[in-house]
Chains A and B, each alone.
Chain A
Amino acid sequence: QKEVEQNSGPLSVPEGAIASLNCTYSDRGSQSFFWYRQYSGKSPELIMSIYSNGDKEDGRFTAQLNKASQYVSLLIRDSQPSDSATYLCAVNRASSNTGKLIFGQGTTLQVKP
């Protein structure tokens, strides 16, 4: 079992729709959770971080965390073609500011005009 699992996709949504990206993790000791966006040929860009159960909203992005189910998701509202990218879920076990991030393989999102 992989430590962090994501559906590789591609996930295809029409422009203006809600894109829902999902991630599960195996280590119950995980404390912090991150979503990165990576355009083709570029490096990952941090777009959301979440540390406690529930929802966290930032503009068109909402991260959702359910530690009991070991599940984290990212919703993108009013999807735009510029949102087309690979979205990486990352998990850190440490509660302090140390340690490695464990990444899923990423989900490719395609937003069609």
Chain B
Amino acid sequence: DAGVTQSPTHLIKTRGQQVTLRCSPKSGHDTVSWYQQALGQGPQFIFQYYEEEERQRGNFPDRFSGHQFPNYSSELNVNALLLGDSALYLCASSSTGRGYNEQFFGPGTRLTVL
């Protein structure tokens, strides 16, 4: 049973560029949440996707956008990158309607903005 997968593992970009991160949820899961984790901090919620719609959004600017595909996989897009966007980006999958929102994380994408 494959767990949550994310790609790429690492990414280096320069300020002003755009980036796309990808996530495939765990088998049987239909909900994907994205989090940003800065060094030494807990993850911060960016948004959550269910049925190809953004269901909830955290306190992040519109430069952060996402998408969910019919196969439940998801993308996170960040435009006009800032130095402060350097972080570990985590995707978490869960199953809406089953249990109490246990979310399982993928390995993450380490983004460095120079």
Residues on A lying within 8 angstroms of B by beta carbon are 4, 31-32, 34, 36, 42-46, 49, 51, 88, 90, 92, 94-106
Contacts of A49 in B (CB 8 A): 100, 102
- The residue among B35, B50, B103 with the most chain A CB atoms within 10 A of its own CB is B103
Query: In the assembled complex, how far is the CB of residue A103 from the closest CB belonging to chain B, in whole angstroms?
Result: 3
For B, the interface residue count at a CB cutoff of 8 angstroms equals 32
Given contacts A98-B48, A99-B48, A102-B45, contact A46 B102 (CB under 8 A): yes
- Find B101's partner among A45, A94, A103, A105 (CB 8 Å cutoff): A94
* Residue pair A99, B108 in contact (C-beta under 8 Å): no
Query: In the assembled complex, how far is the CB of residue A81 from the closest CB belonging to chain B, in whole angstroms?
Result: 22
* Chain B residue at smallest Cβ distance from A31: B100
* Chain B residue at smallest Cβ distance from A44: B105
* Residue pair A100, B97 in contact (C-beta under 8 Å): no
**Is chain A's binding surface mostly helix, strand, loop or mixed?**
loop
- Find B106's partner among A31, A43, A90 (CB 8 Å cutoff): A43
Q: Does B58 contact A (CB under 8 A)?
A: yes
* Chain B residue at smallest Cβ distance from A34: B102
Query: In the assembled complex, how far is the CB of residue B76 from the closest CB belonging to chain A, in whole angstroms?
Result: 15
Q: Does B94 contact A (CB under 8 A)?
A: yes
* Residue pair A97, B101 in contact (C-beta under 8 Å): yes
Contacts of B88 in A (CB 8 A): 43
Whole-angstrom distance between the alpha carbons of A80 and B94 in the complex?
Answer: 30
5 smallest CB-CB distances across A and B, nearest first, come from A103-B42, A100-B45, A32-B100, A43-B105, A43-B108
Instruction: Identify which of residues 40-82 in chain B touch chain A, using a CB-to-CB cut-off of 8 Å.
Output: 40-45, 48, 50, 55-56, 58
Given contacts A31-B100, A43-B106, contact A98 B40 (CB under 8 A): no
Given contacts A44-B43, A106-B42, contact A101 B105 (CB under 8 A): no
Contacts of B101 in A (CB 8 A): 32, 92, 94, 96-99, 101
* Chain B residue at smallest Cβ distance from A105: B42
Query: In the assembled complex, how far is the CB of residue B98 from the closest CB belonging to chain A, in whole angstroms?
Result: 6
